[in-house]
């Protein structure tokens, strides 16, 4: 099989969460344990760092990978989902796994698919672990897919853990309270393994404290370690640090503070330098290729794309949008059907214009249905077949002092022709 055939085969043969939702979710570590054993336990061949959370774990993973790259290390990075290409999920020093390697891995290990019957996510995890082993990375940054306790990535024995924001998302699988969701995320905390919590939230702090205590793991909350104001950070080891990040979303200040506090905690294990930490964060786009986080696609009118898709993420985006001072705002919106659509729609201003789109994903809600739901919130707009057509129409109907926002779904943003 060539690359295209191998990816089509995986989509056809394996349960795929980002396409099918909850019915593709296989909780538990049985399958990944079996795969790892059959492949010679590749996860034991490299040092790893583990990141979980609701919002911010993707950005934080890329920040940390870039920091380690600036220190001269060969760094593996495993994240999900992808925006454009499957190979984005598996990178070393910002370079995606070769398509030929992916095709060969699938072709050469079909017997494992038949034997274990893994989910798509479980298969991508063993693929990443094997690639990192073969390429002999110094460190691998591993982002959880969903939750933490039962996530396939939770088979690793990391040097340290980072848990970012806890918000409502995937309640059908992780629980219907922040405490329950936090408990699932806290499942990545391992015995005697240091953990940093990016945000101190009243509903979840005790959950993390209790889990860390039971595991004899040292725990810290980032806000207790690093002070932050307008992207100027003050930490015990590196003093005041002004960071000019490529990613201008205000929510990134929380993510950066979390990563800086994590660096403070990890420096006895991995020697780190302040100047290289700052450069690593500032060079994250160049070093890792991270896209879709308050991405400025154009000016006059200003066009912003963001993968924010749940209540917490959209709240952060709208707070920043309100400070932009646009004469008029156009929102290009697409969502997946299993999200809390009602809560998200309630966050948008009724005076904005809307284009409703449907991403090319089986989980996506139809643009027409989204338009109908939006109308019940006083949000008016047109249905447009594709996000790129919507962007063209929005630009045509906007003045230079207006703003255009594309959000609501990672898959929608992934279809933008950047």
The mean pLDDT of 219-227, rounded to a whole number, is: 98
Q: Measuring CA to CA, which residue among 222, 410, 206 is closest to residue 305?
A: 410
Mean pLDDT in the chain? Answer: 94
Whether the pLDDT of residue 176 is over 90: the answer is no
Whether the pLDDT of residue 212 is over 60: the answer is yes
CATH of the domain at 374: 3.90.190.20
Residues 143 and 163 in one domain: yes
The mean pLDDT of 74-101, rounded to a whole number, is: 97
Q: Measuring CA to CA, which residue among 158, 369, 348, 186 is closest to residue 265?
A: 158
The order of strands in the sheet holding 195-197 is 95-96, 90-92, 75-78, 139-143, 47-52, 160-163, 195-197, 219-221
Q: Tell me what percent of the residues of the chain surpass a pLDDT of 70.
A: 95
The mean pLDDT of 211-235, rounded to a whole number, is: 97
**350: exposed, middle or buried (Cβ count in 10 Å: 0-12, 13-18, 19+):** exposed
Range of the domain at 115: 3-288
Residues 302 and 278 in one domain: no
Q: Binning pLDDT at 50, 70 and 90, where does residue 27 land?
A: low
Q: Binning pLDDT at 50, 70 and 90, where does residue 418 land?
A: low
pLDDT tens, residue by residue, 295-329? 999 999 999 999 998 999 999 999 999 999 999 99
Q: What is the pLDDT of residue 25?
A: 55
The mean pLDDT of 90-105, rounded to a whole number, is: 98
Terminal Cα distance for the chain, rounded:
29
Residues 251 and 315 in one domain: no
Residues 229 and 317 in one domain: no
Write down the pTM of the prediction: 0.94
The mean pLDDT of 248-274, rounded to a whole number, is: 97
Residues 115 and 216 in one domain: yes
Whether the pLDDT of residue 60 is over 70: the answer is yes
- Residue that finishes a domain, picked among 253, 288, 323: 288
Tokens of 355: 């284009």
Residues 372 and 236 in one domain: no
For the chain, the residue count is 418
Q: What is the pLDDT of residue 16?
A: 60
Tokens of 21: 């939702």
pLDDT tens, residue by residue, 124-163? 999 999 999 999 999 999 999 988 999 999 999 999 999 9
Q: Is the dihedral of CA 99, 104, 106, 107 positive or negative?
A: positive
Strands (E), 246-367: 295-298, 302-305, 329-333, 353-356
Q: What is the pLDDT of residue 12?
A: 85
pLDDT tens, residue by residue, 359-380? 998 889 999 999 999 999 999 9
Task: Report the number of distinct structural domains present in the chain.
Answer: 2
Residues 56 and 200 in one domain: yes
Cβ 45 vs Cβ 183: under 8 Å? no
Whether the pLDDT of residue 22 is over 60: the answer is no
- Residue that finishes a domain, picked among 288, 307, 337: 288
Residues 283 and 310 in one domain: no
Residues 283 and 302 in one domain: no
How many contiguous H segments (helices) and E segments (strands) does the chain have? 19, 17
Residues 274 and 342 in one domain: no
- DSSP lists the bridge partners of residue 50 as 142, 161
Residues 255 and 345 in one domain: no
Q: Binning pLDDT at 50, 70 and 90, where does residue 24 land?
A: very low
CATH of the domain at 113: 3.40.1190.10
Residues 61 and 131 in one domain: yes
- Residue that finishes a domain, picked among 269, 288, 307: 288
Query: How many beta carbons lie within 10 A of that of residue 369, not counting itself?
Result: 16
């Amino acid at each position: 099989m060539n690359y295209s055939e191998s990816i089509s085969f995986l989509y056809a043969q394996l349960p795929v969460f980002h396409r099918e939702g909850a019915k593709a979710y296989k909780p538990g570590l049985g399958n990944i344990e079996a795969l790892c054993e059959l492949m010679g336990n590749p996860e034991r061949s490299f040092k790893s760092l583990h990141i979980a959370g609701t919002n911010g774990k993707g950005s934080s993973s890329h920040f940390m990978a870039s920091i380690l790259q600036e220190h001269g290390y060969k760094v593996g990075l495993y994240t999900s989902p992808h925006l454009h290409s499957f190979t984005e999920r598996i990178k070393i020093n910002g370079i995606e796994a070769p398509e030929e390697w992916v095709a060969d891995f699938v072709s050469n290990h079909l017997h494992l698919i038949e034997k274990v019957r893994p989910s798509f996510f479980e298969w991508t995890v063993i693929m990443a672990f094997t690639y990192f082993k073969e390429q002999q990375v110094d460190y691998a940054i591993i982002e959880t897919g969903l939750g933490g306790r039962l996530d396939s990535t939770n088979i690793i024995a990391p040097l340290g853990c980072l848990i970012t924001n806890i918000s409502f998302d995937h309640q059908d699988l992780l629980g219907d309270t922040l405490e329950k969701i936090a408990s699932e995320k806290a499942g990545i905390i391992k015995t005697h393994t240091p953990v940093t919590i990016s945000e101190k939230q009243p509903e979840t702090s005790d959950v993390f404290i209790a889990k860390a205590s039971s595991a004899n793991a040292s725990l810290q909350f980032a806000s207790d370690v690093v002070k932050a104001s307008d992207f100027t950070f003050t930490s015990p080891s590196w003093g005041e640090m002004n960071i000019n990040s490529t990613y201008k979303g205000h929510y990134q200040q929380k993510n950066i503070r979390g990563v800086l506090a994590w660096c403070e905690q990890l420096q006895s294990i991995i020697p780190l330098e302040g100047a290289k930490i700052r450069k690593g964060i500032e060079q994250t786009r160049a070093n890792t290729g991270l896209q879709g986080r308050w991405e400025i696609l154009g000016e006059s009118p200003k066009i912003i794309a963001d993968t924010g898709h749940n209540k917490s993420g959209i709240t952060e985006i709208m707070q920043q949008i309100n400070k932009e001072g646009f004469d008029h705002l156009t929102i290009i919106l697409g969502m997946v059907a299993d999200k809390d659509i009602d809560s998200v729609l309630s966050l948008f201003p009724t005076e904005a214009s809307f284009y409703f789109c449907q991403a090319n994903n089986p989980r996506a809600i139809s643009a027409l249905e989204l338009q109908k739901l939006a109308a019940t919130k006083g949000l008016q707009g047109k249905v447009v077949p594709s996000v790129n057509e919507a962007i063209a129409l929005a630009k045509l109907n906007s003045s230079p002092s207006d703003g255009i926002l594309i959000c609501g779904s990672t898959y929608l943003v992934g279809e933008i022709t950047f």
